[in-house]
């Protein structure tokens, strides 16, 4: 079953702009992770934020987590054409498995 | 980081045949691997959790006789789609965790996926 809902489903921006994607989930979690997927490929882990953390940074990525609202956001700053991909949030509620959201398809135009 | 290798990357088969997909952890041991299925422009749906040396745990609605999973070693899990039909056409992806690796090891490492097309 899919827990996460992401919005927007699709996002198109110009190079240099910031891209923000949101994820909501339903159950309590141990951590929330963001992954990137290029078309027809496997997923690549971007960043993990634990349930007791509120914000985390990694390079041009900034992730926030609001456990009271059961939501997270991923911000990509100064986007590049190479950032074009699908982005998925995934929740870890224990037991080892991740449940993925619906994804946001990001298109960055040069 | 850890590497997960998945083969084949693409397979086309006739309806009624069986297809085996391999997932290998190349530089770490994976006692648990996960198999996902993805339809075009949709999310990943967890199919089953593959456990080394024991039976796989299937998610609700996934037919275990249809999707046979074998995890015979610490580095190899296989998914066999038996008697494939056109509705089984999909993108199948495996993943694993490197529990012996560095910190932040809750993340998954993914294979590159297998695009199955059943004619």
In the prediction, which pLDDT does B107 show?
A: 82
Residue-wise pLDDT tens digits, A2-54: 456 788 899 999 999 999 999 999 999 999 999 999 988 889 999 999 999 99
Interface test with A, best of B95, B108, B116 (most A CBs within 10 A): B108
Chain B residues with beta carbon closer than 8 angstroms to that of A35: 108, 110
Q: Is A99's CB within 8 Å of B46's CB? A: yes
Q: Work out the average pLDDT over A58-84.
A: 97
Q: How far apart are alpha carbons A101 and B43 in whole angstroms?
A: 6
DSSP B75: T
Rg (CA), chain A: 13
Nearest to B53 by CA among B27, B74, B81: B74
Nearest to B98 by CA among A4, A45, A1: A45
Q: Say which residues have a Cβ less than 8 Å from residue A66's Cβ, sequence separation at least 6.
A: A54, A72
Nearest to B81 by CA among B48, B57, B44: B48
Contact A49, A90 (CB under 8 A): no
- Please, which pLDDT band fits residue B104 given cuts at 50, 70 and 90? low
CA angle B61, B57, A30 (to 5 degrees): 95
In the prediction, which pLDDT does B102 show?
A: 55
Q: Is B110's CB within 8 Å of A97's CB? A: no
Q: Is A40's CB within 8 Å of B115's CB? A: yes
- Please, which pLDDT band fits residue B72 given cuts at 50, 70 and 90? confident
Interface test with A, best of B10, B44, B59, B96 (most A CBs within 10 A): B44
- Sign for the CA dihedral angle at B60, B65, B68, B73 comes to positive
């Amino acid at each position: 079953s899919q827990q996460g809902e992401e919005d927007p489903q699709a996002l198109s921006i110009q190079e240099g702009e910031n891209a923000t994607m949101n994820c909501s989930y339903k159950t309590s979690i141990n951590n929330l992770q963001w992954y990137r997927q290029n078309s027809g490929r496997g997923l690549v882990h971007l960043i993990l934020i634990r349930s007791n953390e509120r914000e985390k940074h990694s390079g041009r990525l900034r992730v926030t987590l609001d456990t009271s609202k059961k939501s997270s956001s991923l911000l990509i700053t100064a986007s590049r054409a190479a950032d074009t991909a699908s982005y998925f949030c995934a929740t870890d509620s224990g037991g080892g498995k991740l449940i993925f959201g619906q994804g946001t398809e990001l298109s960055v135009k040069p | 980081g850890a590497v997960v290798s998945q083969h084949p990357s693409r397979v086309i088969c006739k309806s009624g045949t069986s297809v085996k997909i391999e997932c290998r952890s190349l530089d770490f041991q994976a006692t648990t691997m996960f198999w996902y299925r993805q339809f075009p422009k949709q999310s990943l749906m967890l199919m089953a959790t593959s456990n080394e040396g024991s039976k796989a745990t299937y998610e609700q609605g996934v037919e275990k006789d249809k999707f046979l999973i074998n995890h015979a070693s610490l580095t190899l899990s296989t998914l066999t789609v038996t008697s494939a039909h056109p509705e089984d056409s999909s993108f199948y992806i495996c993943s694993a965790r490197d529990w012996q690796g560095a910190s932040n090891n809750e993340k998954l490492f993914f294979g590159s996926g297998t695009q199955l097309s059943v004619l």
